Amino acid sequence: MNVMSNRRFQVCSVLCVVTLCAVNSLPAQSQHLDRVKIEVDPQTLVSRISPEFIGFGYESSAVAQSNYFTATNLRLVQLYRNLTPHGLIRIGGCASDNTQYVPEGTPVARDFRQVSVINHEDLVKLGEFARATGWKVMWGLNLGHGTEQQAVPEAQAVAAALGSQLQSFQVGNEVENLPNIKHNYALYHALYLDYKTGIRAVLPNAPFSGPDTTGDWTFLTNFVHDEAGDMKLLTHHYYCSDAHDPKASIDKMLTHDARFEARLNALDQLCRSNNIEGYRINEVNSFSGGGKPGVSDTFASALWVLDYMFMLASAGCEGVNIETDINHLDWVSHYSPIIHDAGMKCSARPEYYGMLAFAMAGKGHLLKLTLDKSDINLSAYATKDEQGGLWITVVNKDFHRDAAVEALIPEGYVRAEAFRLQAPSLESKDQVTFAGQEVAVDGQWTPNSPDKVNVEGGFVRLAVPHASAVVLRFRN
């Protein structure tokens, strides 16, 4: 896994006097001023960030959409490449357990209760799309209503279409909840072995990941016990809660989930103890069931995803697949960071901008960071890229309290500049920018020149208003 020690960030409380330069001054309507002090230890590595950390997740039925996954969908290709040239697409979801591969069939995308159909041409176009973006693909096979005899030719076709862009296969989605499994691990594993054996008979080097669960720890640990020596990644899902939960709100979304953080640490330990390459949260977004309108599609989701991705990285996670596009109910989710119209013209929602911010700073290694603050809802992360560049990302998720941040400049660095993630409010659905720019109609995004940051006495001082984030880059 190549995961370093010292995983936990140290948090204590202190007050410091801060001087703010004009370009970084707080808004006149500020209700509260919280002073925050950050100190980075560039020599202590917390964890490595995988080059394929960033990813999107799709229902299998999405592949049946005409002119979506194709190299000629230039807007979508560009939206991917804005983030990284080496991401991971996960194809699966509830619809995967009722999707059939019919080589010469007519493509049909339906909800998870009906049969969706993918044909040979769909897979060829997906392969062309993967090569155009540089992203690899994790492919889910139908366990809920499929058989090993059906999975084998599908796997062959997927492997032929994707070539080196195939990352791994999975067998079933949220397998513990499948009606034909009913939390019976022994039954699941027997079926899994049937699929794997059949596929390996024709694709001897086919890689597998799994078990693709929502949180059944018994399934996870049993699967690791049985398959640790023959698996690519351990996989798991996460949502803050269900969209129909009365408590599904912006406040809920932006509240730290300590229970899931504990699960991340347990997953990391499970992988390290069993010499597994790593674990991946391969299906995640704000609220399951397609997200909640007025919550999952607002600027708050950009702050949530930025903070969430850094939290995963700090816990040694190998990557994340943010759910997007049509969901298991056959409509484009409220939480989708990328949406499309009837003509498959794609555009970015607020959540995408949080991913852009992570893409800028979430590279190389996370560093040990000491954060001294009050109880303001704010987090901070430090990274060092492969070229030696040092970054600090500050995410202020507080509804009302603005932060006056003071960061000690690490030895060897003398200048700093800031890229801001902001919008008119947490509820904003448009006018969202990162580094002063919106994503253009054609999918292009070009950041403005960064803000110069006040440097005085070995410290960087700047304001991070409530409901915003900033990415700091330090230069020598």
Reported as a single tens digit per residue, the pLDDT across 123-161 is 999 999 999 999 999 999 999 999 999 999 999 999 999
Residue among 455, 430, 434 at smallest CA distance from 445: 434
Q: Which of 26-35, 94-103, 240-249, 335-344 has the lowest mean pLDDT?
A: 26-35
pLDDT of 457 reads 87
pLDDT of 30 reads 47
Give kind and range of the element (H or E) at residue 428: none
Q: How far is the C-alpha of 70 from the C-alpha of 127, rounded, in Å?
A: 8
- What is the tally of helices (H) and strands (E) in the chain? 9, 24
Using pLDDT thresholds of 50, 70 and 90, give the confidence band for residue 476: confident
Structure tokens at 201: 């008979």
Rounded to the nearest integer, the mean pLDDT of the chain is 93
55-361 belongs to which CATH class?
alpha beta
Is the per-residue pLDDT at 73 higher than 90? Answer: yes
Q: How far is CA 444 from CA 25, 302, 370, 377, 434, in A?
A: 30, 18, 36, 32, 13
Using pLDDT thresholds of 50, 70 and 90, give the confidence band for residue 20: very low
Convert the pLDDT of each residue in 33-66 to its tens digit. Answer: 899 999 999 999 999 999 999 999 999 999 999 9
| CB contact burial 201-216 (16+ within 10 A = b; e otherwise) | eebeebebbbbbbbeb
Q: What percent of the chain shows pLDDT beyond 90?
A: 89
Residue that wins the pLDDT comparison between 455 and 75: 75
User: For residues 468 and 396, is the Cβ–Cβ distance under 8 A?
Assistant: yes
**Which CATH topology does 10-48+365-475 take?**
Immunoglobulin-like (2.60.40)
Residues of the chain with CATH 2.60.40.1180: 10-48+365-475
Structure tokens at 18: 């801060």
Q: What percent of the chain shows pLDDT beyond 70?
A: 93
Using pLDDT thresholds of 50, 70 and 90, give the confidence band for residue 32: low
Q: How far is the C-alpha of 9 from the C-alpha of 446, rounded, in Å?
A: 32
Structure tokens at 148: 């090993």
User: For residues 131 and 72, is the Cβ–Cβ distance under 8 A?
Assistant: no
> How does DSSP classify residue 265?
H
**% helix, strand, coil for the chain, step of 5:** 30, 30, 40
Q: What is the mean pLDDT of residues 340-356?
A: 96
pLDDT of 14 reads 29
Q: How far is the C-alpha of 152 from the C-alpha of 150, rounded, in Å?
A: 6
The whole-model pTM stands at: 0.93
Please report the beta strands in 294-377, taking only residues with DSSP state E, as ranges in sequence order.
319-323, 338-340, 346-348, 365-372
Q: What is the mean pLDDT of residues 62-83?
A: 97
Is the per-residue pLDDT at 6 higher than 60? Answer: no
Residue among 308, 337, 302, 305 at smallest CA distance from 323: 337
Q: What is the mean pLDDT of residues 276-301?
A: 97
Residue 99: strand pairing partners? 116
Give Cα 299 to chain centroid, integer Å.
16
Give kind and range of the element (H or E) at residue 39: strand 32-48
Q: What is the mean pLDDT of residues 178-204?
A: 97
Residues of the chain with CATH 3.20.20.80: 55-361
Indicate the SS3 state at residue 159. Answer: helix
Q: Of how many residues is the chain composed?
A: 476
Is the per-residue pLDDT at 29 higher than 80? Answer: no
> Could you count the other beta carbons within 10 Å of the beta carbon of residue 235?
28
Q: How far is the C-alpha of 417 from the C-alpha of 460, rounded, in Å?
A: 9
Residue with tokens 């409010």: 425
Whole-angstrom Cα Rg for the chain: 22
